Structure 1
Amino acid sequence: MDYSNITFNDLPRVVAELRDEVVGMRQMLSRLQEENVQCKENTHRPMSVEEAAEYLKIPLRTLYMKLGNGTIPATKPGKRYVLYQDELDKWLECSRRNPVPLSDEEQNAAVLASNRRKPNNRTW
């Protein structure tokens, strides 16, 4: 239909077409969101140092050096390091030269974490 010459009598039909398109888009979005939720897996799983070196594709000695420096996020509950896949992914993204933009929630958390000041004596 040529939308440049819409008359007042054509409005109900045009509005009905638009409504059908919006309903179709809503259904498509909900279907895509359901598929996206189903595809997500739990990436917060503990890994050994050997698994982490294989995952990061770096030599084991380099990984131990970075763990000793504290550049790679890990915990050491006993004698061995425990690394988590999601923390390694975040570390990889943060150490990029061109970092991926943060989500709105992450940006808000970063701003709130950076603005911790002592209160001014005049405002007490």
Structure 2
Amino acid sequence: MTTEEMTFNDLPKAVAQLLDKISGLELSFNRLYEDIKKSPSRASEHIPMNIDEACEFLKMKKGTMYYHLHNRSIPATKKGKSYIFFKDELIKWAESGRTTDVPLTPEETNLALSKRVGKNTQTDISKLLRKK
């Protein structure tokens, strides 16, 4: 119904349509609000950790962690004698070290390994065995 065709007698019908649309928007808003409330926020991942907690989180040995700290390749803050790590920064650091977005399939891995220089193929191995 357009506004040009609307008369005073059509107002109750138009108000009912508006109420239906508003209740639909309200339901959508409530669902969206619940989804946002359930999802973890970025602020909740900005948790300070000591070196032991960071090593446990990254499943890394302490010596390896100190190696990365010495080379300044891992994000950390030093307050006094101890280092402070933040969980969200460690996650970003770990993700930045990826070589590929998707892991290679076994076939792709075998193909990449077979193209290596100096790799003995099956025919090369059989030639070597015949010479003996």
What is the 5 A alignment of 1:1-12?
none
Mark the runs of 5 or more structure 1 residues left unpaired by the alignment. Answer: 1-11, 100-124
Mark the runs of 5 or more structure 2 residues left unpaired by the alignment. Answer: 1-12, 102-132
> Which residue does 1:79 correspond to in 2?
81
Instruction: Please give the alpha-carbon distance, in whole angstroms, between the structure 1 residues aligned to 2:97 and 2:87.
Output: 15
Q: Would the alpha carbon gap of residues 23 and 88 (structure 1) be closer, same or farther in structure 2, given more than 3 Å must change?
A: same
- State the number of aligned residues: 85
What is the 5 A alignment of 1:13-92?
19=21, 23-36=26-39, 39-40=40-41, 42-92=44-94
CA-based RMSD of the aligned residues comes to 3.0
Which one has the largest radius of gyration?
A: 2
Give the stretch that moved more between structures: 43-52 or 60-69.
43-52
Could you say which structure has the higher strand fraction?
2
Instruction: Please give the alpha-carbon distance, in whole angstroms, between the structure 2 residues aligned to 1:24 and 1:80.
Output: 50
Instruction: Please give the alpha-carbon distance, in whole angstroms, between the structure 2 residues aligned to 1:69 and 1:46.
Output: 21
- Aligned-residue identity in percent: 34
